[in-house]
Homo-oligomer: A and B are copies of this chain.
Amino acid sequence: MIQNNWINDLQLKWGRMQQAMQQMEADGCLLTVDVNLYYTTGRIFSGYFYLPVEGKPWFFVKRPNGLKGEQVIYIRKPEQMPELFAANGLKMPEKLLLEADELSYNDYIRLQAVFQPKVTANATALMRKLRQVKTPYEIEQFRISAKQHAKTYAEVPSCFQTGMTDLEFQAEIERRMRLNGSFGMFRAFGANMDIFMGSVLAGDNAETPSPFDFALGGQGMDSSCPLGANGTVLKEGTAIMVDMAGNYTAYMTDMTRVFSVGKLTDLAYRAHQTSLKIQSEIENVARPGTSCAELYNIALQITESEGLESYFMGTKQQAKFIGHGIGIQINELPVLTPRSKELLEPNMVFALEPKYVIPGVGAVGIENSFLVTESGLEKITLFNEEIIEL
């Protein structure tokens, strides 16, 4: 079941979970959602991962056939678990953690009926909290993604041909991503967070408000996928914001660079430099213990001092965050909002993305992925940060 190169990482994660469960006085945690299974077992399968507050984890597998290992038990349906608990001398949990923000209502009710715990608590909240502080193995994975992400961005200028649309440009970037090892898969937390491989925003399409919780919008190709590129022709004077996925390992980096066809307006360059100034100021200030709200406020203050509020994080609709944790999902914790109560901790990894949308030009700004170290921030997505003329 568990590959050898993973076992230390998984044991570290199980230990953190059990420590948290002790504090919550929970007896067990049952996980079945893809990202939580991957986090705790190193693979995605159909079935359940059960961790008691003490002792080793159990793997109840429906599919695929053929998994072997310690404490791996095949089942057809969750209703078999109580009997299997009894047969294996495993105590039924009185306080059980279930993924309340991810399981469907019917699936949750079904598991509640199976286990009949006295109390349930929210495994989604616990796992999202634990997952925000990364392990050494996870940090290694981010570094691999970051390197490939930068490699793809270095190829972006060669994807451009005069007269292209944003969609044609994006299709060629997607091909380079795939050839550089992108998995394609793009995971986000929350309902209706529909996105495909990232976003290329050109010109005034960047002003289109989005139904989603991503930083910027875009009309998209169709009302069924209302995000990103919409067929805009890449003409002289257009800013093109490339914010494509860093999904080269299961741990995604997040990184945005701006390209231009010819020269942009002075306002666009000034706004871009303001983004770089925000990034630089946040790099100076941030360390373990810094509040995420403070980082947002730095960005807002610098924006106000430049008189750029009406362009900040959109025009017709403005996102109220300037960064977010990254990991197996693109929108992990913490979130850098004005009201965030979270403090930075060592080994958090987050994306910082102060951006501006300039009517008549497009979106400008920067996004990089940062690791929080004992002494400050380490930028892991390294590539030219100026606006690159195509």
A224:B328 contact, CB within 8 angstroms: yes
Report how far A31 CA is from B225 CA in the complex, Å: 18
Interface of chain A: mostly helix, strand, loop or mixed: loop
B174 touches A168 (CB 8 A): no
> Could you tell me if A104 and B191 are in contact, using CB atoms closer than 8 angstroms?
yes
- Interface: A44 (CB within 8 A): yes
Q: Which residues of chain A (189-234) have a CB below 8 Å from chain B?
A: 191-192, 194, 196-197, 208-212, 217, 221-226
Cross-interface CB contact of A44 among B102, B208, B211, B249, cutoff 8 Å: B211
Against B, the Cβ 8 Å flags (1 = close, 0 = not) of A100-128 are 11111111110000000000001010000
Stretch at the interface among A61-69, A235-243, A258-266, A339-347: A61-69
A174 to chain B: which residues have CB within 8 Å? 174-175, 178
| A309 surroundings in chain B (CB, below 8 A) | none
> Does A316 belong to the interface (CB within 8 Å)?
yes
Are B65 and A316 interface neighbours, CB within 8 A? yes
Q: Find out whether the CB atom of A46 lies under 8 angstroms from the CB atom of B105.
A: no
Q: Separation in Å of the A333 CB from the closest CB of chain B? A: 16
A168 to chain B: closest residue by CB: B179
Which listed segment binds B: A16-24, A32-40, A49-57, A268-276? Answer: A32-40
Give the residue among A106, A174, A179, A187 with the most B Cβ atoms within 10 A.
A106
Asked if A91 is at the interface (CB within 8 A of a chain B CB), the reply is no
Does A59 touch B at the CB level, under 8 Å?
no
A43 on the interface (CB 8 Å rule)?
yes
A154: interface (CB < 8 Å)? no
Q: Cβ of B197 and Cβ of A184 under 8 Å apart?
A: yes
CA distance in complex: A249, B225 (Å): 10
Q: Interface of A with B (CB < 8 Å)?
A: 3, 32-34, 37-38, 42-46, 62-66, 98, 100-109, 122, 124, 167-168, 170-172, 174-175, 178-179, 181, 183-185, 187, 191-192, 194, 196-197, 208-212, 217, 221-226, 249-250, 316-317, 328
